[in-house]
Amino acid sequence: MSALEVALGRARPARSKSKKKRKKSKALAVSTEYSLLLTATLCLLAFGAVMVFSASSTTQVLQNGGLADSAYYLQRTLAVGAIGLVVMHFTARFSLLTIRKATPIILGGAILLLVAVLGIGQNVNGATRWIGGGTFQIQPSEIAKVALVLYAADLLAREPKRIRSIQGFMPVLLVTGASCLLVMLQPDMGTTMVIAFAVGATLIAAGAAPRDLGKIALFIGVCVLLLTLVEPYRMARLTSFLSPGNDTEGAGFQAAQAKIALGSGGLFGVGIGNGVQKAFYLPEAHTDMISAVIGEELGLVGILGVVGLFGMFGFAGLRIAQKAKDNYGKILVAGLTSMVLATAMINLFAVMGMAPLTGVPLPLISYGNSAMLTCLFAIGLILNVARGGTATMARGRGGESRSTSSGRLKVVNGGRSPARERSGAGGARRAKSGGGGGGNRGARGARHGSRRRAP
């Protein structure tokens, strides 16, 4: 064996090791959007734990007459948060295709729980929304929110031609309508509104026509108005929202106290733990009204910080949807991101007096076991797509491609066709023009070259 062969033989393992290192470093690299989304999620969770303790500890001390159970809600929030982070971690690394195939099971289970809660659920403050008791409680409507987005994304990615007409995506509307009806029977209009926003955003991401969406929005608006008129407590909330000063001791009490809390906080707040409204005047301060506690104790700066974190979350989520490798990932991430943002928007608007109170918690900040677990599961799905996860299935009636094609999903892609398609179209145009212009010039150049080479 020559010295050259020996040298080459020794060099090959070194090259293979360097290739393995490059592949490993490439696998470990994450996108900027992934980091932004994860950072916003962890900041909201940490901030939420602090604010849950601040909002609940005073009430616990006043009710129990001691400090023994002052950290009760904090301990449960930390425990559920830890479980949720584990769920998020494994969901982000699990096979997205397997989760997609399990969508019928997830949706069927959610609907069964929505039916079951009407019969065996616990009645709390006039609403039957939870199954179970003690430390183990399930809120089926929270599971239904994610399940409906999963179902809509699966159907519209598998059969993209359905999005061209209302009749085409009628299955999505029927399943969503049936689920919303079950949620309204609990009753829970807030979660119904979140479901409507989330599924609507999923349809927009899939490319639904604005005219079709307008018809659906008009129908939903009429239904909401009728449901408000037939239910006295909803009518009272709407009346107190339209005329805040008329019933500050009755239906408008909570909204009025929330405004007082926000006004008392000023620019920088009275300090964490020093708020007064949470102790005597704000019912459920650690859940629905936690935004008012933030405004009182941290002021306008605290509210703007929360809005900024959700803005970072929304920016990262929509960018991940834009960069997803397949249509399913684009539609799914757009729907789940919109679900989280819609929940936060409804909560903040209600506390600030810009919308009627509906009992919607602030995602990742308010106390709530089911809400936190399902939200972190949804974030795990978004992170999965951000890591390059795909779930392309066999072609359906309209065909399913790995990447966006033609005019579909223009909303997610910023109203533009993908770069690959633009470059491909440009190349086709150049090839077409080059057949008569560039090709002739090349032929003339070849003839001139042949004449120059001739003796």
Chain position carrying tokens 């789940």: 336
pTM, 2 dp: 0.82
d(CA 140, CA 9): 63
Q: What angle do the packed helices 327-351 and 140-158 form, to 10 degrees?
A: 140
Of the candidates 334, 333, 355, the residue with the CA atom closest to the CA atom of residue 344:
355
| Exposure string for 248-269, b = 16+ CB within 10 A, e = fewer | beebbebbbbbbbbbebbeeeb
Closest CA to 92 of 306, 333, 394, 311: 333
Tens-level pLDDT at each residue, the chain (455 residues): 455 454 445 445 545 555 555 544 444 467 899 999 999 999 999 999 999 999 888 877 777 666 667 788 899 999 999 999 999 999 999 999 999 999 999 999 999 999 999 988 888 777 888 887 766 788 999 999 999 999 999 999 999 999 999 999 999 999 999 999 999 998 888 899 999 999 999 999 999 999 999 999 999 999 888 888 887 777 877 777 777 767 677 777 888 888 899 998 999 999 998 888 888 788 878 888 999 999 999 999 999 999 999 999 999 999 999 999 999 999 999 999 999 999 999 999 999 888 888 889 999 999 988 999 999 999 999 999 999 988 887 554 445 555 544 334 555 665 544 444 344 444 444 444 444 444 444 444 444 444 444 44
Peptide bond into 418 cis (omega under 30): no
Residues across the chain: 455
Task: Quote the pLDDT of residue 70.
Answer: 77
Residues with Cβ within 8 Å of 422's Cβ and at least 6 positions away in sequence, in order, are: 416
**For 361, which DSSP code?**
P
CA distance 110 to 133: 19
* pLDDT attached to residue 180: 94
The residue written with tokens 């926003």 in the block is: 197
- Residue of 127, 350, 365, 360 whose CA lies nearest to 254: 350
Alpha helices in 185-231 (DSSP H): 189-206, 210-230
Dihedral angle, C-alpha 256, 260, 261, 266, nearest 10 °: 150
Phi, psi of 94 (to 5 degrees): -80, 165
- For residue 339, the one-letter residue type is M
The CA distance from 320 to 37, in Å, is 9
Report how far apart, in Å, the C-alpha atoms of 85 and of each of 45, 236, 369 are.
10, 39, 13
How far the first Cα of the chain sits from its last, in Å, is 51
pLDDT at 275: 87
Q: The dihedral of CA 40, 42, 43, 44: what is its sign? A: positive
Give residue 397's pLDDT: 47
The enclosing H or E element of 354 equals none
Task: Enumerate the β-bridge partners of residue 128.
Answer: 123
Closest C-alpha to 317, from 87, 41, 16: 41
Question: Which pLDDT score is estimated for 450?
Answer: 43
Q: How far apart are CA 59 and CA 349, in angstroms?
A: 25
The values of phi and psi at residue 367, to 5°, are -75, 135
- Rounded CA separation 408/423 (Å): 17
